[in-house]
Amino acid sequence: MNEASIPFPIPPGDWLGMIGGGQLGRMYCHAAQSLGYKVAVLDPDPDSPAGAVADMHIRAGYDDQAGLRQLSERCKAITTEFENVPAQSLQALAARSAVRPAAQAVAIVQDRIQEKAFIQSAGAPVAPYAAVHTPEDIAAAPDALFPGVLKAARLGYDGKGQARVRTRAEAQLAFAEFGAIPCVLEAFLPLASELSVVMARGADGQAVFYPSARNEHRDGILAVSTVDAQARDQVTAGQAAKAALAIAQRLQYVGVLCVEFFVLRDGSLVANEIAPRPHNSGHYTMDASVSSQFEQQVRVTAGLPLGSTDCLCSVVMLNILGDAWFDPETGARREPDWPAVLAVPGAKLHLYGKAEARRGRKMGHVNVLGATLADAQSAAARVARALAIPFQP
């Protein structure tokens, strides 16, 4: 059996598969179960957040042939929560199950060099860059790429595998420290803000878009996402959605997709990265949208009609990192003040079930809802104070 022979839509009560056991997989499980599906999760970690709530947890590596076979025998359709699952594993699963997104789409975004070239081929602008395979590539890079950032071509996320470089000498040193693996050298640009577009595209080519979120990163990790339900200036958001759709169509993408953009000071857009999955900046949809990004992922996986992306209210999403478990003055470990968080009207707390809090580790998020953006920001400031999270409306 393969996708062509699977009778879609897959009805509730049947099994859906998930590769990856992190928080995105956990939230997918909750969404699928709310629609009546059973979920099998493939992940090697016996304490994985998704495995803890799944109907079946297959404890195996992402390239374990026996585990993959067990997953595909159980599930008619399978998705993934992260882009670094081996593309060969997705290809193997496709022999028996529908895999959404497909292996070839995921493979492109697993490599920053391929990703940059692909974004350009779809007609979207990217920051000036150069592929780096050898020290000679850095020596030959245009002067306009300095100062810049050197990024490992594969397996980088949340600021990992990246180094800011002001000069060629710093770039050469960073390249050596990375182990001389393939990298992308990217120019710094005059940024005004960052935004992301989360969309879903079905097998029939139909696509829906969530309102774009304005994002703030700290140390390479998303800290705050903001959506103004009453925003009037939608020109930039519309341009971003158009570019994201062109990328999804060229990928022949089926699933939930996020494209991150830089907004430059002159108002122009530059595509930064593609995430072939639900995205941290789309977590606001869990409470502020008619259908969340995780419900959309379930719908696409099962071949159901796409849900409404209408925004119900303004919202500020605050990431909760493991730092919140440490007193900011003494560094002593402590439990965050959850009662103070939940006392704030409009605060919706989502924790990921991770056993150990570590600095820089994503442990949860809070969606703070408001009738207006000002209301949401005022309430978010109270939540941030309770958790000792920096926040500036």
Q: What is the DSSP letter of 39?
A: E
Peptide bond into 9 cis (omega under 30): yes
Residue 25 annotated as lining a ligand binding site: no
Annotated binding residue 177: no
Instruction: Kindly write down the DSSP assignment for every residue of 322-383, as one continuous string.
Output: GGGGB-TTT--B----HHHHHTSTTEEEEE---S---TT-EEEEEEEEESSHHHHHHHHHHH
Q: Name residue 58's amino acid.
A: I
Was 273 annotated as part of a binding site?
Answer: yes
Q: Assess contact for 212 and 196: CB atoms under 8 A.
A: yes
* Residue 189 marked as a ligand binder: yes
Q: Is 272 annotated as a binding residue?
A: yes
Residue 151 assigned to a binding site: yes
DSSP helix/strand/coil, 317: strand
- Whether 157 has a binding-site annotation, put simply, is yes
What's the rounded Cα separation, in Å, for the pair 126 and 342? Answer: 41
Q: Residue 116: which of 185, 195, 216 has the closest Cα?
A: 185
242 carries a ligand binding annotation: no
C-alpha 223/C-alpha 207 separation (Å) is: 28
Burial of 210 (0-12, 13-18, 19+ CB in 10 A): buried
Q: How far is CA 339 from the centre of its chain?
A: 29
- Establish whether 161 is an annotated binding residue: yes
Paired tokens of 295: 């419900």
194 is in an annotated binding site: yes
Alpha carbons 148 and 171: distance in angstroms, whole number: 9
**Does the annotation list 156 as a binding residue?**
yes
User: What is the chain's alpha carbon radius of gyration, rounded to the nearest angstrom?
Assistant: 21
Find residue 207's DSSP bridge partners.
201
**Residue 294 and residue 30 in contact, taking contact as beta carbons nearer than 8 Å:** yes
Tokens of 39: 């979920």
CA distance 87 to 102: 9
Instruction: Tell me: is residue 35 an annotated ligand-binding position.
Output: no
Q: Residue 346, annotated ligand binder?
A: no
Taking the C-alpha atoms of residue 142 and residue 127, their distance in angstroms, rounded to an integer, is 13
162 known ligand binder? yes
What single-letter DSSP state applies at residue 140? H
| Paired tokens of 256 | 């939930």
Instruction: Please report, in range form, the residues annotated as the binding site.
Output: 112, 151, 156-162, 186-189, 194, 217, 272-273
Instruction: Please report, in range form, the residues annotated as the binding site for ATP.
Output: 112, 151, 156-162, 186-189, 194, 217, 272-273
